Amino acid sequence: MKKLIYLLILPFILISCSSDDDTLHSVTIITLEQPDKNIYIGDEYQLTVSHAPIELTAPTYTWESSDPNVAEVNNQGKLTALKEGETTITVKAADLQLNSELKIKVLPIKATSITMSKKEVEIIIDAHHTLTYEIAPKNTTNTEVIWKSSNEKVATVNDGNIKALSVGTATITVTIDGISDECVVTVPKTLFRYKFGATIEQINPTVKISNDFAYNWADISGENPLRAFVFKNNKLTELWNCYGTDKMLSRDYENFLQEVNSLNPPQAVTLENNSDRYARLSKNVDGLTWKNGDYNILIKNGEISIRNTPYPMLIIQYTEIK
């Protein structure tokens, strides 16, 4: 009877030993390692897996991402970050029925600086000026900026396009990801201006005329162009878009308008872009497309001098002012 019992126990012992031996010669744990840096949109990162017992050969792995729109992973465990968000990466050793998971957070690339094209600009009432900007780094994910004017009664801004409304100063701010840059806009006093169908608006009637007088240009874009007067010896001699003198303020505007309507339109002249020279004109001139309101012309001794800029501009018929 004892012999029979021994024979029954022996196979059980052999089976147990065999099972323990198999466990010692196979991987029992796999662990997907945490990345050692932040993952940003556009990054590629090689994920690593550790296993135990460490002295054994690593098994064959398969990979998958719970949200491949956020980040993809190939068969070698190479991660590619595609957009901001979170995804779970899973690695499996299918033959051993082992797996490990890791949550990956993909971060946006934020701007570190934003720089406007100008720090300060001067434009006259109803004129426009467009500011541009540069963002760093150039691969910033979010490129949406916010424009703001500190005083919308003086100047408004829309997508970088400034319009001057009244005399004063305003600070234009552009912001991205909490980082800002500023440009100070100054709208100077002008003499007077006229819009057809309206009346003369007296802004600063105390300015005195001289032999040398600088005229500031006005913006004539849009459906309601801005017009102003040019004078010689208190007589209206031309109508186009510059600012005149206070000597007009005591005149009969209706009579002047009749005289304006009989004037011949100016002729055209073209200035080359990006030149430092001054154009001397000895004939009537017509205009090109107006871009900005912060350039001057100078009338002296019967000649009109126009400083050239990268922008074409509208100019008036010259006249000597005394």
Q: Are strands 168-176 and 179-187 parallel, antiparallel or unpaired?
A: antiparallel
Question: In CATH, what is the architecture of 113-187?
Answer: Sandwich (2.60)
Torsion, CA 286, CA 291, CA 296, CA 299, rounded to 10: 0
Non-local CB neighbours of 259 within 8 Å, separated by 6+ positions: 236
Is residue 261 helix, strand or coil? helix
Is a pLDDT exceeding 60 seen at residue 291? no
In the chain, where the domains are located: 29-107, 113-187, 200-320
Residue predicted with more confidence, 58 or 271:
58
pLDDT for 190:
55
Q: Greatest CA separation found in the chain?
A: 144
Does the pLDDT value for residue 105 go beyond 90? yes
For the ranges 53-57, 176-180, 196-200, 226-230, which has the lowest average pLDDT?
Answer: 196-200
Question: Worst-scoring range by mean pLDDT, 60-64, 131-135, 160-164, 216-220?
Answer: 216-220
Q: Collapse the DSSP code of 98 into the 3-class scheme (helix H, G, I; strand E, B; otherwise coil) and give the result.
A: strand
Is 113-187 the same fold as 29-107? yes
Token match 């459906």: residue? 223
The edge-to-edge listing of strands for the beta sheet with 62-65 is 39-40, 98-107, 85-93, 62-65
Supply 28's token pair: 């029992």
> Is residue 33 very low, low, confident or very high in pLDDT (cuts 50, 70, 90)?
very high
Q: In what order do the strands lie in the sheet with 155-158?
A: 128-130, 161-164, 155-158
* Whole-structure pTM value: 0.48
Do the beta carbons of residue 186 and residue 122 sit within 8 Å?
Answer: yes
Judged against a pLDDT cut of 90, whether residue 74 lies above it is answered with: yes
Identity of the residue numbered 44: E
Name the pLDDT band for 36 (thresholds 50, 70, 90). confident
Query: What element of type H or E holds 121?
Result: strand 120-122
Give the tens place of pLDDT for each residue, 86-99: 999 999 997 888 99
> Which one-letter amino acid corresponds to residue 176?
I
Q: Which of 53-67, 126-140, 166-180, 286-300 has the lowest mean pLDDT?
A: 286-300
Q: 213-216 and 201-202: which strand pairing?
A: unpaired
User: Quick one: pLDDT at residue 273?
Assistant: 37
Which residues, in sequence order, are CB contacts of 217 under 8 Å at separation 6+? 124, 127, 241, 242, 290, 293, 295, 296, 297, 313, 314, 315
Domain 29-107 class, CATH top level: mainly beta
Dump pLDDT digits (tens) for 158-214.
999 999 888 899 999 999 999 999 999 998 765 433 333 333 333 332 233 333 333
Rounded mean pLDDT of the chain?
64
For residues 70 and 201, the model is more confident at 70
For residue 266, give the nearest of 250, 287, 292 by alpha carbon.
287
Residue 292 structure tokens? 């900005």
